[in-house]
A and B are shown apart, each in its own frame.
Chain A
Amino acid sequence: MIDSDTARRIADKVDVAEVADLTSALANIPSFSGEEGPVGRFVAERMVGLGFDTVETQQVEPGRFNVIGTMRGDGSGLSFMFNGHLDVDPIPLGYDRPLWQSSIEDGWLYGVGVGNMKGADAAMIMAAVAVKRSGVPLKGDIVVACVVGELQGGVGTVHLLDNNPLPDLAIVPEPTNLQIRTMHAGVLEALVVVRAKAGRSGVSKAIDAALRAMNALHALEFTHEPHAALPGLPRMHVGSIMGGDVKRERRGDVDMSDSCTLAIDLRLHPGMTEEGAVADIEALLKRLAAADPDMEYEFLPPPAAYAAPWRAMGIYMPPLELAEDHPLVSLTSDWHRHVTGETPQVGMHMPGSHAGADSGHLWRRGVPCFNYGPSQHSRFYNEIALSKIEHGTKVMALTAADLCGRAKDTVDFGR
Chain B
Amino acid sequence: MDHDGDILRALDANRRDFGENPARSPVDTAGQWAAFLRECGFGDVSLDRISPQTINAVGAIRGDGSKRPLLLCGRLDAGTERRVLVSMARAARAVADSGFSRSRDIFVVGCSGREGISKLPDSIDPLPEIAITAGDGLGTSRPSALHVVLSIRGKPAWIGNRHMLSNIHAIEKAAAAVEAIDKGGVAGEGACPAPRVSVQGIIGGLTEDHVVWRPAMVPDHCSMVLKVELAPDLTASQAIGWIRAALDRQAEADSDLSYFLDLEPGEAHAFANLVPLAPAYLVDEDHPLVVACHRRDAQFSSPDEDVVPVVAATQDAALLGAAGITAISYGAPEPRAAKVLALTIADMVT
Chain A interface residues toward B at CB < 8 A: 90-94, 185, 187, 189, 202-204, 207-208, 210-211, 214-215, 218, 232, 235, 237-246, 249-254, 257, 260, 263-265, 267, 309-312, 350-352, 354-355
Is there an interface contact between A211 and B275, defined as CB atoms closer than 8 Å? Answer: no
Tell me, in angstroms, the Cα distance from A232 to B198 when the chains sit together: 36
Q: For the complex formed, measure the closest distance between the CB of A77 and the CB atoms of chain B, giving whole angstroms.
A: 37
From A94, A215, A232, A254, B209 is in contact (CB under 8 Å) with A94
Is there an interface contact between B171 and A238, defined as CB atoms closer than 8 Å? Answer: yes
Is there an interface contact between A202 and B213, defined as CB atoms closer than 8 Å? Answer: no
A235 and B159 in contact, given A252-B147, A253-B200 (Cβ under 8 angstroms): yes
Chain B interface residues toward A at CB < 8 A: 147, 149, 158-162, 165-166, 169, 171-172, 174-175, 178, 198-206, 208-219, 222, 225, 227, 265, 269-275, 277
Q: For the complex formed, measure the closest distance between the CB of B122 and the CB atoms of chain A, giving whole angstroms.
A: 27
From A239, A263, A265, A351, B161 is in contact (CB under 8 Å) with A351
Tell me, in angstroms, the Cα distance from A189 to B178 when the chains sit together: 27
Contact residues in B for A351 (Cβ distance below 8 Å) = 158, 160-162
Is there an interface contact between A239 and B211, defined as CB atoms closer than 8 Å? Answer: no
A252 and B215 in contact, given A214-B172, A218-B166, A240-B204 (Cβ under 8 angstroms): no
Is there an interface contact between A189 and B175, defined as CB atoms closer than 8 Å? Answer: no
Chain A, Cβ-Cβ closest to B204: A241
Contact residues in B for A312 (Cβ distance below 8 Å) = 214-215
Is there an interface contact between A239 and B147, defined as CB atoms closer than 8 Å? Answer: no
Chain B, Cβ-Cβ closest to A89: B210
Is there an interface contact between B214 and A204, defined as CB atoms closer than 8 Å? Answer: no
Tell me, in angstroms, the Cα distance from A257 to B201 when the chains sit together: 7
- 15 interchain pairs (CB within 8 A)? A92-B211, A204-B198, A239-B159, A239-B215, A239-B216, A240-B204, A241-B171, A241-B202, A241-B205, A241-B219, A243-B202, A245-B201, A246-B270, A265-B215, A351-B162
Tell me, in angstroms, the Cα distance from A208 to B199 when the chains sit together: 7
Is there an interface contact between A251 and B277, defined as CB atoms closer than 8 Å? Answer: no
Tell me, in angstroms, the Cα distance from A207 to B208 when the chains sit together: 23
Q: For the complex formed, measure the closest distance between the CB of A206 and the CB atoms of chain B, giving whole angstroms.
A: 10
Chain B, Cβ-Cβ closest to A185: B160
Is there an interface contact between B159 and A252, defined as CB atoms closer than 8 Å? Answer: no
From A237, A244, A355, B200 is in contact (CB under 8 Å) with A244
Is there an interface contact between B158 and A252, defined as CB atoms closer than 8 Å? Answer: no
Tell me, in angstroms, the Cα distance from A274 to B68 when the chains sit together: 73
Tell me, in angstroms, the Cα distance from A244 to B149 when the chains sit together: 14
Is there an interface contact between B272 and A250, defined as CB atoms closer than 8 Å? Answer: yes
Is there an interface contact between A243 and B199, defined as CB atoms closer than 8 Å? Answer: yes
From A90, A203, A204, A243, B212 is in contact (CB under 8 Å) with A90
Tell me, in angstroms, the Cα distance from A351 to B174 when the chains sit together: 28
Is there an interface contact between A242 and B203, defined as CB atoms closer than 8 Å? Answer: yes
Contact residues in B for A210 (Cβ distance below 8 Å) = 202
Is there an interface contact between B159 and A265, defined as CB atoms closer than 8 Å? Answer: yes
Tell me, in angstroms, the Cα distance from A352 to B203 when the chains sit together: 29
Extra inter-chain contacts (12) besides given A242-B203, A253-B277, A354-B161, CB under 8 Å = A90-B210, A90-B214, A189-B216, A204-B199, A238-B219, A239-B205, A239-B218, A241-B202, A244-B201, A249-B273, A252-B274, A310-B205
Contact residues in B for A263 (Cβ distance below 8 Å) = 205, 213, 215
Q: For the complex formed, measure the closest distance between the CB of A246 and the CB atoms of chain B, giving whole angstroms.
A: 4
| A90, A265, A267, A355: residue with the most chain B Cβ atoms closer than 10 Å | A265
Is there an interface contact between A211 and B178, defined as CB atoms closer than 8 Å? Answer: yes
From B203, B209, B222, A93 is in contact (CB under 8 Å) with B209
Tell me, in angstroms, the Cα distance from A399 to B89 when the chains sit together: 93
Q: Which 4 residue pairs across A and B have the least CB separation, nearest first?
A: A354-B160, A252-B225, A244-B201, A239-B215
A260 and B202 in contact, given A311-B213, A312-B214 (Cβ under 8 angstroms): yes
| A218, A240, A267: residue with the most chain B Cβ atoms closer than 10 Å | A240
Is there an interface contact between A251 and B272, defined as CB atoms closer than 8 Å? Answer: yes
Contact residues in B for A207 (Cβ distance below 8 Å) = 199-202
Contact residues in B for A311 (Cβ distance below 8 Å) = 212-214
Tell me, in angstroms, the Cα distance from A200 to B208 when the chains sit together: 35
Contact residues in A for B209 (Cβ distance below 8 Å) = 92-94
Tell me, in angstroms, the Cα distance from A202 to B158 when the chains sit together: 36
Is there an interface contact between B159 and A267, defined as CB atoms closer than 8 Å? Answer: yes
| A251, A351, A354: residue with the most chain B Cβ atoms closer than 10 Å | A251
A251 and B199 in contact, given A215-B172, A239-B215, A265-B159 (Cβ under 8 angstroms): no
Q: For the complex formed, measure the closest distance between the CB of A200 and the CB atoms of chain B, giving whole angstroms.
A: 11
Chain A, Cβ-Cβ closest to B265: A252
Chain B, Cβ-Cβ closest to A207: B199
Contact residues in A for B225 (Cβ distance below 8 Å) = 244, 246, 252-253
A265 and B205 in contact, given A214-B175, A237-B169, A246-B270 (Cβ under 8 angstroms): no
Contact residues in B for A243 (Cβ distance below 8 Å) = 199, 201-203
| B206, B211, B213: residue with the most chain A Cβ atoms closer than 10 Å | B213
Contact residues in A for B160 (Cβ distance below 8 Å) = 185, 235, 267, 351-352, 354-355
A252 and B216 in contact, given A91-B211, A211-B175, A267-B160 (Cβ under 8 angstroms): no
Tell me, in angstroms, the Cα distance from A46 to B161 when the chains sit together: 37
Contact residues in A for B215 (Cβ distance below 8 Å) = 189, 238-240, 263-265, 310, 312
